Amino acid sequence: MKKQIIKLAIPSIIENILQIMLSTVDTYFVASISAVAISAVGLNSLISNIYLTFFIAIGTGVSIMTARADGQGSMKKVNQAIQNALLLTGLIVVIATIMNLITRGPLLDFLGKEKELIEEATLYFNVVILPIGTLCFMTVLSSIVKSLNDTKTPMYTALFINLVNVLLDYVLIIGIGDFKGIGIVGAGIATTTSRLIGVIILSIRLHQKTGFLKGFELKFRKGIKDMVHYAIPVGGEKLAMRIGQLFYGSLIVTIGVQHYTGHNIAGTIEAYSYLPGMGFGIAAFAIIGHAIGSKDYGDIRKAGVLSFKFSTVFMIAIGLIFYIFAPQLAGIFTDDPEIIRLVTIVLRIIAFFQPFLCSTQVIAASLQSLGDVKYPFYLTVFGIYGIRLLGTYILGLKLGLGLVGVWLSYALDVTIRGTLLYIRFMRKTSSIEELEKEYSDVS
């Protein structure tokens, strides 16, 4: 199992690194257009992130079912789940496209007030948000492929579309020869084209593994209710997180510009510590789902705990780097001494909480694979609104701790959620007999 976990996790970690690199390269090329172009892309990212929550939810819901069906050896059920997921994705994409056409003007006017910004944002919206289906289908297809114990295909796909995106960015933004580039429209075309290629590659690979296209029909199959049942709490959790982050960010802004800048820099750096947790979480999810389908209930706890241990080692190592090199890491992004001081303190705080952060990734994914999707949702809502927001208000604003108070609240949230998630998982997997009784109807 150790080899299997590593085999599944490492490609997922590399894929996530490639996604961060893609975002960085995109920002670099867009920055060559203008500062307004960066803001325009940022506004559209707020919109696409909202859509993404729904399709991450669908991806999780279908992955629970495909992993179990694959573990059971029932390709028929795998294909039924795939058909349901793709039809549901297509239906939501159609609705989203109609809404985008209707609300495009008012929505961008609400998000941005300056005329030049709205004009640039509209151009990007037309070539990225209107065809948002490319991102939606790519997200769902990638989740399905991973649930079938194949994390290499999404990794190679991410590498290839990154290369395509960089090439198209250069040609369409910078220009080549007599062609001088088409600015932010070029950036959008590069993004959408690379996503479309990703959809095609993942679809071909998924068909090779399952043959799902042969019997594909435009109707929902058995299991759609279960898939939606699993997806709704996951979507609710992600949406609650997004909305909470908006409130959270607005509170930090009131503390001061330097603190908000420091918060964004610290968040950018800290994102790298999530990568092992996300990768090992995917491994645990896939293995546990297959164990339920094949009725190897003794493997369930082992998969979750081993994935957690492996991820914790990686994340503690990253935490040590944060602690030792915090000033240097902050200095990459700014030369303001006060911001560097704040970011240094924050990174050293979070360095101590990596095992708990790991639990919010790996153990949460393990619980989701067990079908326990509501508990992580409830904990996230409690953590964001009951601990993080309240703590930021009390520690950051009322007690005057500023950004340090903000991240102490975050650390407290992560510690409590991580601990409760771990306890929940250990209790649910404490008895093989109970697991057999709970999942005996998975057939």
The pLDDT tens digits for 86-107 are 999 999 999 999 999 998 888 8
Q: Give the pLDDT mean for 379-394.
A: 93
Query: Does pTM top 0.85 for this prediction?
Result: yes
Q: Sorting pLDDT into bands at 50, 70 and 90, what band is 332?
A: confident
The tens digit of pLDDT for each residue in 136-168 reads: 999 999 999 999 999 999 999 999 999 999 999
Q: Is the pLDDT score of 311 beyond 70?
A: yes
Which residues have a Cβ under 8 Å from the Cβ of 353 and sit 6 or more positions away?
319, 411, 414, 415
Residue 384 or residue 110, greater confidence:
384
Contacts of 109 (CB under 8 A, 6+ apart): 118
Neighbours of 117 (CB within 10 A): 19
pLDDT in tens, 338-350: 999 999 999 999 9
Per-residue pLDDT at 443 exceeds 60: no
Backbone angles phi, psi at 176, to 5 degrees: -150, 130
Q: Measure Cα distances from 168 to 24, 42, 172, 388 in Å.
A: 15, 20, 6, 41
Mean pLDDT of the chain: 91
d(CA 413, CA 391): 9
Are 151 and 216 a contacting pair, CB within 8 Å?
A: no
pLDDT at 113: 67
Long-range contacts of 291-296 (CB under 8 A, 24+ apart): 291/71, 292/67, 292/68, 292/71, 292/369, 292/370, 292/439, 292/442, 293/67, 293/68, 293/69, 293/70, 293/71, 293/72, 293/73, 293/74, 293/442, 294/71, 294/72, 294/73, 295/436, 295/439, 296/71
**Predicted local confidence at residue 442, as pLDDT:** 66
Cα dihedral across residues 308, 62, 240, 427: positive or negative? negative
The structural domains of the chain, with segments of one domain joined by +, span 1-222, 233-443
C-alpha angle 145-151-152 in degrees, rounded to nearest 5? 115
pLDDT for 47 equals 84
